[in-house]
Chains A and B, each alone.
Chain A
Amino acid sequence: MSGTDIAAERLTNLDAVRAALHEAMVADDKTVILGEDVGARGNVFLITTGFLQEFGARRVIDMPLAEASIVGIAVGMALQGLRPIAEIQFADFIYPAFSQIVGEAAKIRYRSNGEYGCPLVIRTPYGGGVHGALSHSVSIEALFYHVPGLKIVAPTTPYDVKGLLTAAIEDPDPVLFLEHKKTYRSVKGDVPEGRFTIPIGKADVKKAGTQVTVVSYGYNLHQALDAARQLEAEGVSIEVVDLRSIRPMDKTTILTSVRKTRKLLIVHEDNKFGGIGAEISAMVSEEAFFDLDAPIRRLCGPDVPAMGYARPLEDAFMISTERMRIAMRDLARF
């Protein structure tokens, strides 16, 4: 995260989402927010509290309980000149909208040969470790990152969240914006005042190091940073790359870092099989195999259908900072 001399305020990730949404609503009266309980309730996490009173029911729309139409109607609005920001209350509820996101929004520009675009943001809280059990804990990025035409962003610091959400709202194409709910209130950071954007598709080196590259995103990113800082005391130097954008993916930053450290650990909460780490691993193997001094390692969620509700089940699903530290140390010593 870049330092700044501009006046900054200390925000949580949740505050950052709210600030970006509020500024977008003020900046462009074509911007509308639609989702379940986004109006009178102000969203289940209280992100849009007060928006209904400030912007009115025409622009802050409490939708019927039907996710396919939340996205489908947002697509129609986007095609007719509005700038919809659709909310899926929990990422686990996005499945009914899969057809609209993958079959419609992501293909509209392509299938119309550029005649129509679909400037649409779909925000949704994802991720576990919050006692959310099977249907309030999932990571969905791997289900969508296979799809050209879609952009996927998963920032995890307040600065990145605000800048990338603003960029997503201004983007002329559909963006799936993932907010790790465990970081909503637990992560705080300085954010410059006023509207700014961070380019979609750029990773960020959150900590420089020389012996191992760790690529991560979401809640795990903060744990990876903690583990890396702990290892500094042992004289182990870890570079931590925050992916931030999942699609498009920043090959350059990943490869530059891996060519320097010659070792790669990928950490994500989503399960391993066919996950984001699989693509990163394949890409690095294709592009930088002879620069590697160790096999690529992935530390991911277990290959089970979901995160259990019971505390031991949830803890076993989430990757502990300790496991990350061990994996980093092992790789550094390889």
Chain B
Amino acid sequence: MAKTVTARAVLDRGGLTDEQLVAMLWNMLLQRQIDNRGFQLNRQGKIPFALGSEGHEALQAGAALAFNRGSDVLVPYYRDLGLVLGVGITPLDLLTNMFAREADLSGGRQFPNHYTARAHGVLTISSIIAAHCTHAAGVAYALTYDGKPGRAVLCSTGEGATSQGEWHEALNFAAIHKLPVVFLVQNNGWAISTPQSQQMAIVDVADKAAGYGMPGMICDGTDPVATYRTMKIAMDRARAGGGPTLVEAKCYRFLSHSTDDDDRTYRDQAEIAAQRADDPLPKYERVLLEAGIIDDVGLAAIKAEVLSLTNDATDQAEALPYPSVDDMATHVYDGPYEPWLE
């Protein structure tokens, strides 16, 4: 995997237009801004919890571009800010979710970063690691139930999830039935405090694909174009009836697991500093600048716009009301429900 960006690599744009290349940068900058906002709001005591995707921006912006809005289905995990932004969830949706307001897509019920958005093809998820992977396989089964190809499922996890039995069961079933699903593993090397070496005895998660009889692909998750190209191949194959793919995007988690975690208790801070050299954001900025696709003025304008969007979303979300306690027992079942309340 190339660690330095060369001029030649810049020209290899994966078939993307200038607008698409800039859109990915825009998504990446917005991710980082919203991430930072979450941590700021938590430290200000305004929200109980936040969780960041810092270091995952490039791969999520790239993967989202391989997703067909309006027909594909996204089954994300909780560190997928850029993916959900990339399929249509708005900054206001995300901030409303952080503030747990009534207008939140889950009505203020779900933890931050646990999205539900049927209109954008986003399934509902819990915090149970890999529990959504079997759902993704079931959705994929249903998508081709009528025998027509053309739609695919994008199921996302971290590398820790690949230790779960349900992850294995999902890939196994998907391969048996040649289902249109791509299992994207965002390998950032850490599952809270547990390094990959304690999670598995192999270096590449993609090697696990062989055990299921599906292709395993690896891409540089710090490069949005590389991730897009890999995901495009996998998603196109799924849509064409070619079956599932396991894609491993290698990246790094720069932040603690969440605002409730302190990685200084388990991670050598020198490791983070070293990985900063590969920070996907400045790296991709340089790529676009050197290729002449944006200039400094354009970049500054995007950053200003992203900050303004985040500020506006923060103010708007904060001003919204909490959900009413009177609605606590709604949507337990379809139709009326009389809980045994005291």
Residue numbers of A with Cβ under 8 A of B are: 30, 58, 63-64, 66, 68-69, 71-82, 84, 96, 99-100, 103-104, 107-117, 148-149, 151, 172-173, 283
Contact = CB atoms under 8 A, between A and B. Distances in A.
B266 interface: no
Interface in B277-334: 330-334
A82 B106 contact: no
Interface residues of B, number: 43
A64 B172 CA distance: 8
A79 B137 contact: no
Nearest to A62: B176
Closest 5 pairs (CB-CB, A-B): A76-B138, A72-B134, A69-B169, A80-B142, A113-B107
Contact of A75 (B104, B109, B138, B169): B138
Contacts of A64: 169, 172-173, 176
A63 B116 CA distance: 28
Given A30-B145, A76-B142, A115-B118, 5 more contacts: A72-B133, A76-B136, A99-B131, A100-B166, A112-B331
Nearest to A114: B331
B334 A72 contact: no
Contacts, number: 137
B249 to A, nearest CB: 23
B166 A77 contact: no
A72 B172 CA distance: 13
A312 B271 CA distance: 64
A103 B139 contact: no
A69 B164 CA distance: 12
Contacts of B331: 109-110, 112-114
B99 interface: no
Contact of B135 (A30, A63, A76, A96): A76
Contacts of B170: 69, 72-73
Contacts of A69: 134, 137, 166, 169-170, 172-173
Nearest to B128: A103
Contacts of B116: 111-113, 115-116
A80 B143 contact: yes
B139 A79 contact: yes
A243 B139 CA distance: 35
A203 to B, nearest CB: 16
A72 B109 contact: no
A73 B176 CA distance: 13
User: Which of A99, A103, A115, A149 neighbours the largest number of chain B CB atoms within 10 Å of its CB?
Assistant: A115
Interface string B155-166: 000000000011
Contacts of A96: 165
Contacts of A104: 126, 128, 131, 135
A44 B38 CA distance: 53
A116 B334 CA distance: 10
Interface in B115-159: 116-118, 123-124, 126, 128, 131, 133-143, 145
